[in-house]
């Protein structure tokens, strides 16, 4: 492999990197712009108002105007900030979010890297966000930023434990960490999805259904906390911490944190979809099979995967305007006293059912 790398010219390496990275970026950036607008509209309608209406029809170009404004804003760095770490932090956070998309299978043909340790890779690479957030809080030299970043790190590490326990239960049943393989296992119709016990008809499948549903709820709640969404948004609690670790950031650095947050929202939704809801598989079969058009199937798969992912992003937004924010002690209690013991017990029961 290294011999091949040395034989490549600089232009071939650069073009390979661009070809690999550009499609994902062309998905993440429009999605983030759409998600910001969707969140504003969802919040507005839940509060019986209209939201942004002026820029474009019903305000559809409002987020584009906002990003253009952020690009032109002055890059402010306070004199007492650690300038190197302050500038590096948003890059690290965005890198962790962006790199997670490398193994997410959008369809049977559109996968960045079809590696066998896909789930393990995502759990590992998203930990970069913890480093970046703590770096942002410390380098800002602001007590509110530091408090927000310390809260965020404690929260993310705590809620990674029930997430990993649920992932272990899935690996125990399927015998794989490859997200593409998991999606292929759940092919056919929705009753073959892992939330319904997996493919086929057997006694094991029916015994697993309630425990798989519990695992689904645990991982969705845990991923909400990992991306700092309500009711687990205490790292950014405006009423207490101004804006948490974002406080000292402006312009494009703030936009990178914002972009990372919405990219993470889709990434965690995509993981839940791949693990429990068939991944890119259609719940009702494919038009490509019906009309003997195999080329249509990957397009349908991309459509179904995106729809499922965006649906869970919508639920995250819905919960933001429905539930109150937890206190710090309540947040930790939810993880250590409830989610972790339940996830551990669920793992043991699933292991016993699978073994017997």
Give yes or no for residue 4 having a pLDDT over 60. no
**Residue 4: exposure state from Cβ atoms within 10 A (0-12, 13-18, ≥19):** exposed
- The count of other CB atoms within 10 Å of the CB of residue 347 is 21
Within a domain: 19: no
Domain count, the chain: 1
Contact 235, 149 (CB under 8 A): yes
Q: Supply the pLDDT for residue 5.
A: 47
One DSSP character per residue, 272-318 reads HHHHHS-TT--SB--HHHHTT-TTHHHHHHHHHHHHHHHHHHHHHHH
Residue 335 pLDDT level (bands cut at 50, 70, 90): very high
* Residue in 17, 351, 306 with CA at minimum distance from that of residue 169: 351
Within a domain: 46: no
- Considering only residues 229 and 271, tell me which one the structure prediction assigns the higher pLDDT: 271
Within a domain: 146: yes
Q: Supply the pLDDT for residue 2.
A: 43
Average pLDDT over residues 293-302: 88
Within a domain: 285: yes
Give the model confidence (pLDDT) of 205-260 as tens digits: 888 889 999 999 999 999 888 888 878 887 676 666 667 778 888 778 888 888 88
Give yes or no for residue 1 having a pLDDT over 60. no
Q: Supply the pLDDT for residue 292.
A: 83
Provide the domain limits for residue 94. 77-355
Give the tokens for residue 42.
């969802």
Within a domain: 39: no
- Considering only residues 10 and 93, tell me which one the structure prediction assigns the higher pLDDT: 93
Whether the ω angle into residue 299 lies within 30 degrees of 0, i.e. cis, is no
Contact 6, 237 (CB under 8 A): no
Give yes or no for residue 355 having a pLDDT over 50. yes
- The count of other CB atoms within 10 Å of the CB of residue 265 is 26
Give the model confidence (pLDDT) of 65-83 as tens digits: 888 888 887 777 777 788 8
Q: Supply the pLDDT for residue 337.
A: 93
Within a domain: 62: no
Give the model confidence (pLDDT) of 145-190 as tens digits: 888 888 888 888 899 999 999 999 999 988 889 998 898 888 878 8
Within a domain: 15: no
Beta strand residue intervals within 197-286, DSSP E: none
Within a domain: 204: yes
């Amino acid at each position: 492999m290294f011999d091949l790398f040395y034989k490549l010219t600089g232009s071939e390496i650069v073009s390979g990197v661009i070809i690999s990275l550009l499609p994902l970026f062309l998905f993440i950036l429009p999605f983030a712009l759409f998600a910001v607008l969707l969140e504003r509209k969802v919040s507005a309608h839940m509060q019986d108002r209209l939201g942004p209406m002026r820029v474009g029809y019903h305000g559809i170009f409002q987020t584009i105007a906002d990003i253009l404004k952020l690009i032109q804003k002055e890059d402010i760095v306070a004199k007492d900030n650690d300038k190197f770490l302050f500038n590096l932090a948003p890059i690290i956070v965005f890198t962790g979010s962006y790199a997670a998309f490398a193994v997410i299978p959008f369809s049977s043909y559109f996968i960045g890297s079809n590696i066998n340790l896909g789930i393990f890779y995502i759990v590992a690479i998203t930990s970069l966000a913890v480093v970046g957030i703590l770096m942002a809080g410390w380098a800002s030299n602001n007590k509110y930023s530091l408090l927000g970043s310390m809260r965020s790190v404690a929260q993310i590490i705590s809620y990674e434990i029930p997430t990993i326990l649920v992932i272990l239960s899935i690996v125990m049943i399927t015998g794989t960490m490859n997200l593409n393989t998991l999606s292929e296992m759940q092919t056919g119709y929705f009753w073959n999805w892992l939330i319904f016990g997996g493919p086929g008809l057997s006694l094991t499948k029916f015994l697993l259904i309630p425990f798989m549903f519990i695992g689904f709820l645990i991982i969705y709640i845990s991923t909400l906390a990992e991306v700092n969404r309500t009711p687990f948004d205490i790292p950014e609690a405006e009423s207490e911490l101004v804006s948490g670790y974002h406080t000292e950031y402006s312009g494009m650095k703030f936009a990178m944190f914002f972009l990372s947050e919405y990219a993470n929202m889709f990434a965690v939704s995509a993981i839940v979809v791949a693990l429990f809801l068939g991944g890119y598989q259609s719940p009702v079969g494919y038009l490509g099979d019906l009309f003997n058009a195999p080329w249509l199937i990957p397009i349908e798969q991309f459509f179904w995967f995106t729809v499922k992912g965006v649906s869970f992003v919508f639920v995250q937004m819905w919960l933001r305007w429905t539930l109150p924010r937890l206190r710090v002690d309540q947040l930790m209690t939810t993880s250590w006293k409830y989610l972790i013991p339940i996830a551990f017990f669920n793992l043991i029961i699933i292991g016993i059912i699978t073994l017997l």
